[in-house]
Amino acid sequence: MPREVRDVVFVDGVRTPFGKANGGIYANTRADDLVVRCIRELLRRNPQLPPERVDEVAIAATTQIGDQGLTIGRTAALLAGLPKTVPGYAIDRMCAGAMTAVTTVASGIAIGAYDVAIAGGVEHMGHHPMGEGVDPNPRFLAEKIVDPSALVMGATAENLHDRLPHLTKQRADAFGLASQQKTAAAYAAGKLQGDLVTVATRDPETGWGLATADEAPRETTLEKLAGLKTPFRPHGKVTAGNAAGLNDGATSCLLAAEDTARELGLPIAMRLVSYGFVGVEPEVMGVGPIPSTERALRLGGLTIDDIGLFELNEAFAVQVLAFLDHFGIADDDPRVNPWGGAIAVGHPLASSGVRLMTQLARQFAEHPEVRYGLTAMCIGIGMGGTVIWENPNWEGAK
């Protein structure tokens, strides 16, 4: 049966404020409640969308047990009060979980399997520390399928510094500081608040509170950053100041076929151009976004020069610098992470992909001169993921 591929649009996205993983604002809040809150807020912000028109709910989590288990896409849909007819599933590609949820349901929309879908992610790294319950196959090491450092993300970042020695610790620290400063400026200018849903947080000792802002951002200086410990290697380069922390948080977004969005009167914030996922050597997983971006550009018929805005996940400063270095982009290029990134706000693994998209969507609205933007991130066990988006506000179209 011949059929057309449909255009897929990003309608709207929200996230919880990101908390610190250990003893942070969400210490007593369930992971599923975080993502449920996002889904409900999406529906509330888009009352034109009849809930029964949601055809799929794909929710990512890296550790799919406990309050992130039980096929979280389905259970979150039920807990959010979506009709029981709306299906859901759980999805995992570690840090790119939410990004993969987006590309997977988007592909379904493109071929006509769905009209509207919700994609998102959640990671409560306080309840589920990295590596909880993993049981790596002994063959990985016995047969040298991966380097022993491949499963420790910080160690892979140190490896990247080794291979690209011109990406010095000073450059990484400077990038980390800039991330904090850009985030602070964005907060002060009210750029980030619109994406956030408040979360009621209960502390048995002190009572109910309300999370309204990211917990991780901090004021710092290059001097302070220079003095931080290097937990992954003695005299190493990766520190808490030039890497994302351990965080709790959730995201969700609404995707639709463009024709359905127009039928329902849903806003069109971004249009999907292409996406790519590519594997790299696991011990330098941070380079992943380079080949995945090349692939997405090729599939979209674009070059890096066509991209006017970049939302890159800052798992580690060195890994973003490697990307910029490869494409000949300056460390402080204003097109890159204009409102800061994960080093400041945090990186609750499987949830981060949608945060990049939500922020890119808001920047698109502010930058009608930009036609294309991209969201990219590195992924554990050696992968990169990139999604390229078109700005529907692009003034060149008029």
Q: Is 80 in the site for other proteins (CB under 8 A)?
A: yes
Q: Is 60 in the site for other proteins (CB under 8 A)?
A: no
Catalytic residue among 38, 95, 127, 128: 95
Q: Is 210 in the site for other proteins (CB under 8 A)?
A: yes
Residue type, 71: T
- Single out the residue of 15, 40, 161, 355 in contact with other proteins (rule: CB under 8 A): 40
What stretches of the chain show up as alpha helix (H) in DSSP?
Answer: 31-45, 72-79, 97-110, 139-142, 153-163, 169-188, 222-226, 258-264, 289-300, 317-327, 342-345, 352-366
Rounded CA-CA distance 130/153 in Å is 10
Rounded CA-CA distance 309/333 in Å is 10
Q: Reply yes or no on whether 347 is catalytic.
A: yes
- Single out the residue of 94, 192, 199, 257 in contact with other proteins (rule: CB under 8 A): 199
Structure tokens at 150: 């491949």
Q: How far is the CB of 40 from other proteins (least distance, A)?
A: 6
Rounded CA-CA distance 158/148 in Å is 13
Torsion angle in degrees (nearest 10) through CA of 301, 306, 311, 313: 60
Residue 29 vs 68, nearer CB to other proteins: 29
- The interface region with other proteins, picked from 56-64, 75-83, 160-168, 345-353 by CB under 8 A, is 75-83
Helix (H, G, I), strand (E, B) or coil at 5: coil
- The interface region with other proteins, picked from 77-85, 100-108, 270-278, 320-328 by CB under 8 A, is 77-85
Q: Is 28 in the site for other proteins (CB under 8 A)?
A: no
Helix (H, G, I), strand (E, B) or coil at 377: strand
Q: Is 189 in the site for other proteins (CB under 8 A)?
A: no
Q: Is 190 in the site for other proteins (CB under 8 A)?
A: no
- Single out the residue of 23, 138, 207, 328 in contact with other proteins (rule: CB under 8 A): 207
Residue 81 vs 133, nearer CB to other proteins: 81
Q: Is 15 in the site for other proteins (CB under 8 A)?
A: no
Residue 37 vs 169, nearer CB to other proteins: 37
CA distances from 270 to 19, 225, 256, 337 (A): 27, 36, 11, 17
Rounded CA-CA distance 360/46 in Å is 19
Q: In which region does residue 337 sit, left (phi positive, over 0), alpha (psi from -120 to 50) or beta (all else)?
A: left
Q: Is 216 in the site for other proteins (CB under 8 A)?
A: no
Q: Is 206 in the site for other proteins (CB under 8 A)?
A: yes
Q: How far is the CB of 230 from other proteins (least distance, A)?
A: 35
- Single out the residue of 61, 167, 197, 261 in contact with other proteins (rule: CB under 8 A): 197
Q: What value, to the nearest 5°, has the Cα angle with vertex 66 and ends 64 and 67?
A: 90
Structure tokens at 128: 């589920």
- Single out the residue of 5, 111, 200, 330 in contact with other proteins (rule: CB under 8 A): 200
- DSSP state at residue 255: E
Q: Is 208 in the site for other proteins (CB under 8 A)?
A: yes
Residue 41 vs 123, nearer CB to other proteins: 41
Residue 198 vs 221, nearer CB to other proteins: 198
Rounded CA-CA distance 108/397 in Å is 27
Q: Is 85 in the site for other proteins (CB under 8 A)?
A: no
Q: Reply yes or no on whether 38 is catalytic.
A: no
CA distances from 119 to 172, 294, 372 (A): 32, 24, 22
Rounded CA-CA distance 159/181 in Å is 27
The number of residues that bind other proteins (CB under 8 A) is 22
- Single out the residue of 36, 150, 261, 383 in contact with other proteins (rule: CB under 8 A): 36
Q: Is 54 in the site for other proteins (CB under 8 A)?
A: no
Chain residues binding other proteins by CB under 8 A are 36-37, 40-41, 79-81, 193, 197-200, 202, 204-210, 212-213
- Give the catalytic positions in this structure: 95, 347, 378
